[in-house]
Amino acid sequence: MAKSLLFISDISGFTEYIQETEIEHSRNVISELLEAMISANTLNLKLAEIEGDALFFYLENKIPSNDELMQQIKIMNTAFYNHLEVLKSKTKWSYKTHANLDKLKLKIVAHSAELSFIKIHNIVKPFGKEVIEIHRLLKNSIKSKNYLLITKQLANDMQITTDYKNNLGHLEYGKDIYDGKEMIYLYSPINVQRLNISYPTINESNNALKTNLKIHILELLKNFFIPTTLYSYH
Q: How far apart are CA 39 and CA 107, in angstroms?
A: 17
> In this structure, are residues 11 and 106 in contact, taking their beta carbons and an 8 Å threshold?
yes
DSSP 149: E
* Length of the chain as a residue count: 234
User: What pLDDT does 225 receive?
Assistant: 44
232: in domain: no
160's enclosing H/E stretch is none
> In this structure, are residues 168 and 148 in contact, taking their beta carbons and an 8 Å threshold?
yes
Phi, psi at residue 171, to the nearest 5°?
-80, 140
21: in domain: yes
234: in domain: no
Residue range 150-168: mean pLDDT, rounded: 93
Question: Which pLDDT tens digit goes with each residue over 109-142?
Answer: 999 999 999 999 888 899 999 999 999 999 999 9
215: in domain: no
> What is the extent of the structural domain holding 170?
4-199
What pTM, to 2 d.p., does this model score? 0.82
Tally of domains within the chain? 1
Q: Shortest CA distance to 102 belongs to which of 111, 112, 93?
A: 93
Q: How far apart are CA 85 and CA 198, in angstroms?
A: 7
User: What pLDDT does 99 receive?
Assistant: 73
204: in domain: no
CATH number, domain of 34, equals 3.30.70.1230
211: in domain: no
- Residue 101 neighbours by CB under 8 Å, 6+ apart: 29, 84, 87, 88
